[in-house]
Amino acid sequence: MKNIINSQFKMWSLVLALLMTTISCNEEYLDIPLPSNALAAEGAFSSIGAIDQMMSQLHFDFADKVVARYSMNRQFEPYGDNGYNARNLNLYLTNTLTPIDEGLYSWSALYRAVFSANFLLEGLPEADAPELDEATRNEYIAAAKVVRAYAYYQLVRLYGDVPLVLSTYAKDNQFLPRSPKADVYALIEADLLEAVTKSPSTPSQAYYINNKYIPQAILADVYLTQEKWSEAEAMADAVITSGHYLLDDNIDEVFLRSSTATIMATGYSAVYSEAEKNLAYPGADQCPADLNPLFQGFFEDTMFALTEGLLNSFEPGDLRKEKWVAFSNVNDYSVPAERYFASKYKFFGYYRAFDPAPGKEEDNKFIRLAEVILIRAEARAHLNDLGGAADDLDAIRNRANLDDTTASTQGELLDAILHERRVELFFENGKRWYDLVRTGTADDVLKVLPYKTGWTADKVLMPIPKDEIDKSGNALTQNPGY
Amino acid sequence: MEFKLTKVISTHRKKNLQWLMRAFLFLFCTTVFSFSSSDVFSQHAKINIETDRTISVDEVFKLIKEQTDYRFIYTQGMFKDFPKVELKKGTIRANKLLALSLSADDFEFKVSKNKTILIFEAPKKNSVRSIPQQQISGKINDVNGQPLPGATIQLKGANKASSSDFNGNFTIAASIGDILVISYIGFTTQEIVVADDKELRIVLKESIGTLDEVQIIAYGTTTKRKSTGTISTVKAEAINQRPVDNIMQALQGQVAGLSISSSNAGLGSPPQILIRGINSITSGTNPLIIIDGVIMNENPGGLLGGRSASNNYQDGLSVLNSLNPNDIKSVDVLKDADATAIYGSRGTNGVILITTKGARIGETRVTLNVSTGISRAATVTERLNTSQYLEVRQDAFAMGNVTATSVINPITPDNFNAPDLTLWDQNAYTDYTRLEVDNPAPSYNADFSLSGGTKENNFITSVSYAKKYDTYIFDPYQERYNMRFQYNHSSKNDKLKLSINSIMGIDNQKFSTLSVGGTTAVSSVNAPNFEWYKDDGSYNYGEGQGYISGSYYNSLPNGNIDRFSKTYNTMLSGQLSYKFYKGLTGKIQVNYGSQRNSYKHIYPTPAINVQNIYQTVPEANFSTAHFQSLNIEPQLTYEANVSKASITALVGATFLNDSNKSTGNRVLDPGDDNLLFNYSAGTSTATSSSSENKFNSIFARLGIEWDDKYIANFTFRRDGSSRFGPSNRYANFGSVGLAWIFTQESWLEDSNLLSFGKLRGSIGNTGNNNIGNYGYLSLLDSPYQQYQGNAQLNPGSYANADVQWEETNKLDLGLSLGFLNDRFLLNTTYYRSLSSNLLVQLPLTSQTGFSSYTGNFDGEVQNAGVEFELTTNNLSANNPVGWKTTFNFTHNKNQLKKYDGLEESPYANTMEVGRALPSTNSRLRFLEMPYHFEGINPDNGIPIIKDANEDGRVDYYDYFNNSAWIGSSTPSTWGGMTNTVSYKGFTLDIFLQFSNGIFSKWNFWGRSIGELYNVSTDVIDNYWKQPGDVTKYPRLYTGVTGDNTYIAPLDNYYSNSTANVYKGYYIRLKNVRLAYNLPTSFLSKLHIGNAQIYVSGENLGVYTPEKLYKDPETFWPLSTGALRTITTGIQVSF
């Protein structure tokens, strides 16, 4: 009997001992499958499906983070002299941003776009997806370079010297200090020039970054900002003479998807997604009730309006004032000028909940032919080709039902071009603000506006967010005046 | 000769006299414990000795008999030859005196109920059975005289048992001198010596708060007397028949150290459960919840997987909703290291073990419980009637604008800016608050259970149904179907044991479209003269009138919204054990849990409300979520007694695999409402996600008890988790717990006052791994959105391969005391837990592409506090009225102890070293960091807001920022008190619960007072009217136009300021229950064993030192808070 018990005991002990040993050594037990909605970063570039989706992310980041979301539109119109906000965004209106203000999300948003581009630029050259041919690889690399270049172009214009981040490894980049503006512009030019050579020369979808005229148009602007007049003229000329773009005869059609003058737009597909709905049209969610077909009788009160200065700068008979500016009947505004709103995009919608009528689809225009023509005009004026400059200027004026320009000297022409840019490009991605800074006129123009209580000449650059300076262990430095 | 002791677990044959005497006293103590003290020889029976003298044993008995009401029966001359006893002048306990007197040889003692102690010479060995057996009969009642059918009567030391019938009567074959053990669930087990063949009358007492009650611990059981850890147990009585929709609501205020709060009063939403404060910044605060061994989803609101459109119900659903509170036998809350370390990496936030009712041995018994109730909103804000409202509005227009040059600038109301004054009927009146949130809501509950069987095979099964409506408009409800089955088998020789338990539940929730938490406008604050119907009967939205969306809202279309959630909950557990050697048992436990949820939100065309600009097209959302866990735990236990030590050892292992899957489908504008259910119609989008988590551990526990006095408990666990990178997967956890029952020491055994005393302490470490799965892996995930028709992939977060456990070191010191035969039981605990290696978001500069990543940081979070539990029987047991009080109190101090470089961290704005952590509920954080209100400026009626961050301007940065912090909304002090009074068949329970914290008292919605919406009645006569007025409320503001310098403090700043925050405590009359047990004499005619009728009221009142216009526990301005529910029911068993 005792033996039986003993042997039973030994057997059980053995079983348990074995079990325990297995348990403690069984590392494989803890291996788990990946979630169904994710891919391992490692090896992702071996799949064309994954690469395509990463490219879609890049396009989205460009639309969301470089162009629309953090509102180059809304914020920088009041920051300059075009816009006036009815209730919020006072810090922009009065130029009283401080390094702790929320509006500075532009910094992180732009660097997030830089990250997306760097991620692709690291992966694409080595990508071994069998379906990825060389032409497509080059096109994708070019698109990533355009996004990176444009994000840096925004950064360098908003903040001045900025850290040059060229890789995705966070620990290498966390404490990078600011690089001189010249280095940043060098990178922008190199990226865009490479994009020009790697992009196809035929535009297929206007709102994709997939042809060489997009980097060329951006380069024209970049050269203009750097006062490289002949390079700017050449680049603008290349786009204008490519034969792919025509100014719309009818000013009503400029912002439609069907416009022949669109060089680049962050557009929307027929079937729009949640993400796209969040990409607000310029001013679309800021429109007063009586201008919004969706919610007659109600409005959201965070709209912003045209300043008196902009309103008065339209010449008599300018079709653009007639077609691109709307008057609100809502009697909530004490100042008459505040009752005029930009209505370049006719199809308003809080969340764009209705589909527009066929042929009336609109895309968020980012670079239009008119702008490139005005770049060439300005470059020509600086290069003393006054005739050529006036011709370009008149092409824009005539379309707006205005007579040829009366400006004749170089100085007069440059003033006329700057004015034309204001009335042509108002409420489009804050371009007026960049013009004021680029031409060195910001201080003169803004310091006389009575409501600009916080204006100083230093405000041509944004403050670096305090958070970022703190997190960098003071590797980042603050701009003067903040 | 030898003594046979009647109540010693293992009979030692030692003839050590001292030991014998102690055992004898132990007999008395425990007998006292189970009998009522009036009819037994109790500890406070004292004998007064007038002079020093020497007397015989017979005289001793005489002396005791004279001074107590005890009698002794023994054979004359039995003690003739005994030595005399020397007595000193003074007082001596009767027990002690007896011990002094009987100083030799073997006697047998029998204590009978009628204060009689039989003493006779112990029979010779093997002669016990020589006494002839006979049929002993008896009747078992509870203290109220109600018979207890189905009680178990066992003959001690023999394999013989019986059970009582419907009338509590039983018969069993036994001999004089045999011991009968009478047990019944929920009652103290009693032992009775058969003294004669007369019918026994046995009274069982309910076993609440006694020291020898079973407490469930990890992989075993203990008792309050013997535990080394800190465990609080809540028994069925405190949970059952409470009209709660979630068992956790019944635990609020019942357990020291456990804080339950619900900021979202929506029916079915999960309460926040915190055991001893917030231990972690990011890695979760939920305790581990285990039901009969099945591990619940660690995120109680984790259901509603892809709930994209359910933002009105943002907290999700509690997984405990499908559990029937009446099925619960006990809830054990494990708190300290000793109790929780064996759960290793998951034990930091404490463990809640829920045990369902087990099977009963005996005749099959049916229990039926039916109840019905009605709920109303507990707190409804009284708002202005039409004439008051119009007066306020007219005043607002008369006041008009405030500008820099003039304070009063009247505005003329017109059709556009004040349709309520110019267009709408000036006499129409609707009480929108009551219409929206205070609709009488019925509830129904029925459950049926069947239980019985033999010692070898027994079972319990129960079926229940409950439905509870909410008081919101459109009748939202919660409905539960529940089925449970438990089967137990034990082999004849008791070696093999099998237990199978299954719980299946379905939880249906029909949501109110006006449920709290959303941003959708609600109708409670509608102008009282706004009308929902136009003259032609169509819905009135006030189109084209006025300009403030949502200030007059027509809820009627919402009645067409269909939002419904269904959760299937399955829990299966099986346990097989085999005792294959003396003291050595092998066991394997397999648990499977599955919670499957499907949710739909249908927004058809008739639901479209032109006022709701966010939802202008028909839409349908469907989502499913499925959580599954499979847990396999082989175990080996060994029990042995060596000398005075009793040893329990346990080794085991855990293999746990859980997975989460969810899908979401959205159909937008399909052209026809019938196609809303077609996933491919209209614009459709789909999402999916899944994740898996594995766990692998070995654990061991060693318990040593020495002489019932010194107890030590050691635990160890080695955990591996798939949540961490391969190099950091494993970690070790352990604890030591020590206890000393000092009342077992000889120098205290004479104490008349102190009947129980235990000092205990524990130290150890536990972990926290609630960081989500895959944190160490670099993953590209799809952000659930499409751009230009394409899906996207993105490195969503910065992977940190080095991420590892967060660790918490816990220290506990406890003192448990029992006074006057444990009539008063007190348990006090001091604890301190220190979490380190914190799992946090570490900062990254945005130039890296990320703002932070998950990692460990050398910071420390401390929780320290005291817990206090008191159970008292206020009246002596022979008083016909029973009155018992249980009270618990907890004070916890939570503190961020150390965090170097906090300024650069993502927590710079919300945390500070030395201060409590902010609430884990981000909504409540707004209460902790409000604008600071400093009164109303008498000159212009504008609220004065403090420039809290001293940057020279009052703006957003004076809010939700460290400098604005006013305290923690997480309670630091809480507790509860229950008084139970019983008399004859009546029992009255009164339960009070209290807590402190910061609560919102903002009961408006919209903007400033004076705008086009209704406010509470106390605004009348309390607002600013002219310069110089010192008032409670600011000036009125029409909402039409004004200078932002004045508008911002009037609307946004004021409503989010300390003016609308209540910092303090509340005491709630949580439950009052009156029950009546119908008399047996009446029931026996109907062949009913027991019947009880009861009426119960939940949330009857709340007291706060300051008048609030809403329930202190609710955050949302228009929410009603906890519902006031009156339930009545009947429980019958036969």
**pLDDT for B758 beyond 90:** yes
* CA-based nearest distance A403→chain B, Å: 40
Which pLDDT score, from 0 to 100, does residue A296 have?
37
The residue type found at B905 is S
C-alpha separations of B293 from A338, B231, B577 in Å: 67, 17, 15
CA angle B413, A87, B908 (to 5 degrees): 135
Q: Which residue has the higher pLDDT, A269 or B239?
A: B239
Q: In B, which residues are within 8 Å of A42 by CB distance? A: 778
Helix (H) or strand (E) holding B338: helix B337-340
Q: How much is the average pLDDT of A377-400?
A: 96
Which pLDDT score, from 0 to 100, does residue A356 have?
65
Q: Which residue has the higher pLDDT, B613 or B709?
A: B709
Pick from B167, B163, B162, B172: nearest CA to B146: B167
Pairing type for strands B1033-1035 and B1023-1024 reads parallel
DSSP code per residue over A50-91: HHHHHHHHHHHHIIIIIIITTTHHHHHHHHTTSEEESSS-HH
* Interface test mutation site (partner A, options B793, B852, B910, B961, max chain A beta carbons within 10 A): B793
Q: What is the mean pLDDT of chain B?
A: 82
Pick from A364, A337, A186, A354: nearest CA to A262: A364
Asked if the Cβ–Cβ distance from B722 to A115 is below 8 Å, we say no
* Interface test mutation site (partner A, options B692, B846, B951, B953, max chain A beta carbons within 10 A): B846
pTM of the model: 0.79
Q: In A, which residues are within 8 Å of B780 by CB distance? A: 38-41, 44, 50, 54
Q: In B, which residues are within 8 Å of A24 by CB distance? A: 698, 718
Which pLDDT score, from 0 to 100, does residue B404 have?
78
pLDDT confidence bin for A383, thresholds 50/70/90: very high
Q: How is residue B739 written in tokens?
A: 């206890």
Asked if the Cβ–Cβ distance from A50 to B780 is below 8 Å, we say yes
pLDDT confidence bin for B239, thresholds 50/70/90: confident
Listed by number, the residues of chain A in 413-452 with a beta carbon closer than 8 Å to a beta carbon of chain B are none
* Interface test mutation site (partner B, options A14, A23, A155, max chain B beta carbons within 10 A): A23
- Residue A13: DSSP 8-state: H
- Residue B514: DSSP 8-state: T
Q: In B, which residues are within 8 Å of A275 by CB distance? A: 783, 785-787, 792
**pLDDT for B103 beyond 80:** no
Strands (E), B742-849: 754-768, 779-781, 786-787, 790-791, 794-795, 806-819, 824-836, 838-843
pLDDT confidence bin for A19, thresholds 50/70/90: low
Asked if the Cβ–Cβ distance from B586 to A354 is below 8 Å, we say no
**pLDDT for B35 beyond 90:** no
**pLDDT for B1052 beyond 50:** yes
Q: Are the C-beta atoms of A360 and A257 separated by less than 8 Å?
A: no
Which segment of B607-611, B820-824, B984-988 scores lowest on mean pLDDT? B607-611
Query: What is the percentage of chain B residues whose pLDDT exceeds 70?
Result: 87
Q: In A, which residues are within 8 Å of B580 by CB distance? A: 8-9, 12
* Interface test mutation site (partner B, options A45, A46, A57, A482, max chain B beta carbons within 10 A): A57
Which pLDDT score, from 0 to 100, does residue B102 have?
66
Asked if the Cβ–Cβ distance from A60 to B792 is below 8 Å, we say yes
Listed by number, the residues of chain A in 188-247 with a beta carbon closer than 8 Å to a beta carbon of chain B are 207-208
Chain B residue with minimum CA distance to A162: B847
Which pLDDT score, from 0 to 100, does residue B591 have?
93
C-alpha separations of A321 from A55, A341, B661, B715 in Å: 39, 10, 55, 81
Sign of the Cα torsion A238, A239, A240, A244 reads positive
**pLDDT for B554 beyond 90:** no
Which pLDDT score, from 0 to 100, does residue B310 have?
39
Q: How much is the average pLDDT of A289-298?
A: 43
Which pLDDT score, from 0 to 100, does residue B394 have?
94
**Range of A36-50, A219-233, B571-585 with top mean pLDDT:** A219-233
Q: Are the C-beta atoms of B1003 and B922 separated by less than 8 Å?
A: no
Query: What is the percentage of chain A residues whose pLDDT exceeds 90?
Result: 47
Q: Which residue has the higher pLDDT, A154 or A74?
A: A154
Chain A residue with minimum CA distance to B693: A32
pLDDT confidence bin for B494, thresholds 50/70/90: confident
* Interface test mutation site (partner B, options A154, A301, A331, A467, max chain B beta carbons within 10 A): A467
Q: How is residue A391 written in tokens?
A: 């011709």
Per residue, what are the HEC states of B709-766? CEEEEEEEEEEEECCCCHHHCEEEEEEEEEEEEHHHCHHHCCCCCEEEEEEEEEEEEE
Which pLDDT score, from 0 to 100, does residue B150 have?
75
Q: Which one of B580, B694, B847 has the shortest CB-CB distance to A32?
A: B694
Could you read off the pLDDT of A143-152 as tens digits, one per residue? 999 999 999 9
Backbone dihedral angles phi then psi of residue A321, each to the nearest 5 degrees? -70, -35
**pLDDT for B664 beyond 70:** yes
Which pLDDT score, from 0 to 100, does residue A210 have?
81
Listed by number, the residues of chain A in 343-362 with a beta carbon closer than 8 Å to a beta carbon of chain B are 350-351, 353-354
Could you read off the pLDDT of B845-876 as tens digits, one per residue? 999 999 888 889 999 999 999 999 999 988 87
The residues pairing with B158 across neighbouring beta strands, listed in sequence order, are none
Helix axes A369-382, A410-425, angle to 10 degrees: 170
Which segment of B99-113, B194-208, B735-749, B840-854 scores lowest on mean pLDDT? B99-113
pLDDT confidence bin for B788, thresholds 50/70/90: confident
Which pLDDT score, from 0 to 100, does residue B686 have?
80
**pLDDT for A354 beyond 70:** no
Could you read off the pLDDT of A167-182 as tens digits, one per residue? 998 888 999 999 999 9
Q: How much is the average pLDDT of B656-668?
A: 86
Q: In A, which residues are within 8 Å of B850 by CB distance? A: 115, 170
Q: What is the mean pLDDT of chain A?
A: 82
Asked if the Cβ–Cβ distance from A34 to B777 is below 8 Å, we say yes
Which pLDDT score, from 0 to 100, does residue A30 have?
78
**pLDDT for A315 beyond 50:** yes
Q: Which residue has the higher pLDDT, B628 or A15?
A: B628
DSSP code per residue over B651-674: EEEEEEEEEEEEEEEEEE--SSGG
Which segment of B815-819, B860-864, B1005-1009 scores lowest on mean pLDDT? B1005-1009
Q: Does A25 touch chain B (CB under 8 A)?
A: no
Chain A residue with minimum CA distance to B613: A295
ipTM higher than the 0.85 cut: yes
Q: How much is the average pLDDT of A127-138?
A: 92
Q: How is residue A284 written in tokens?
A: 């679309």
Pick from B566, B9, B457, B515: nearest CA to B265: B515
Could you read off the pLDDT of A445-475 as tens digits, one per residue? 999 988 888 899 999 998 999 889 988 888 9
Chain A residue with minimum CA distance to B786: A273
Chain B residue with minimum CA distance to A54: B793
Could you read off the pLDDT of B421-438 as tens digits, one per residue? 988 999 999 999 888 888
Q: Which one of B611, B779, B791 has the shortest CB-CB distance to A41?
A: B779
Pick from B275, B299, B290, B260: nearest CA to B349: B275
- Residue B533: DSSP 8-state: B
Q: How is residue B798 written in tokens?
A: 């910065």
What spatial distance separates the first Cα and last Cα of chain A, rounded to whole Å? 92
Q: How much is the average pLDDT of A224-247?
A: 95
Which segment of A197-206, B427-436, B611-620, B988-997 scores lowest on mean pLDDT? B611-620
Q: How far is CA B1098 from the centre of its chain?
A: 16
Which pLDDT score, from 0 to 100, does residue A64 have?
78
Q: How is residue B95 written in tokens?
A: 């027990």
Asked if the Cβ–Cβ distance from A35 to B903 is below 8 Å, we say no
* CA-based nearest distance A79→chain B, Å: 18
Q: Which residue has the higher pLDDT, A24 or B1111?
A: B1111
Q: How far apart are CA B971 and CA B1068, in angstroms?
A: 15
The string over B791-810, giving b where at least 16 C-beta atoms fall within 10 Å of a residue's C-beta and e elsewhere, is bbbbbebbbbeebbbbbbbb
Q: In B, which residues are within 8 Å of A267 by CB distance? A: 788
Q: In A, which residues are within 8 Å of B624 by CB distance? A: none
Rg (CA), chain B: 34
Query: What is the percentage of chain B residues whose pLDDT exceeds 90?
Result: 32
Chain B residue with minimum CA distance to A89: B1044
Which pLDDT score, from 0 to 100, does residue B814 have?
95
**pLDDT for B100 beyond 70:** no
Asked if the Cβ–Cβ distance from B685 to A175 is below 8 Å, we say no
**pLDDT for B665 beyond 50:** yes
Assign residue B513 a region (left: φ > 0; alpha: ψ between -120 and 50; beta: otherwise): alpha
**pLDDT for B802 beyond 50:** yes
Which pLDDT score, from 0 to 100, does residue A32 have?
79
CA angle A259, A270, B609 (to 5 degrees): 115
Could you read off the pLDDT of B356-380 as tens digits, one per residue? 988 877 788 899 999 999 999 888 8
DSSP code per residue over B598-629: EEEEEE-GGG--TT-TT--S-EEEEEEEEEEE
**pLDDT for A68 beyond 70:** no
Q: How much is the average pLDDT of B676-680?
A: 86
The residue type found at B131 is I
* Interface test mutation site (partner B, options A15, A16, A30, max chain B beta carbons within 10 A): A30
**pLDDT for B817 beyond 60:** yes
pLDDT confidence bin for B1027, thresholds 50/70/90: very high
What spatial distance separates the first Cα and last Cα of chain B, rounded to whole Å? 49
Chain A residue with minimum CA distance to B790: A56
C-alpha separations of A71 from A109, A423, B738, B988 in Å: 11, 20, 64, 65
Which pLDDT score, from 0 to 100, does residue A303 have?
60
Q: How is residue B917 written in tokens?
A: 């952590």
Rg (CA), chain A: 27
Asked if the Cβ–Cβ distance from A170 to B853 is below 8 Å, we say yes
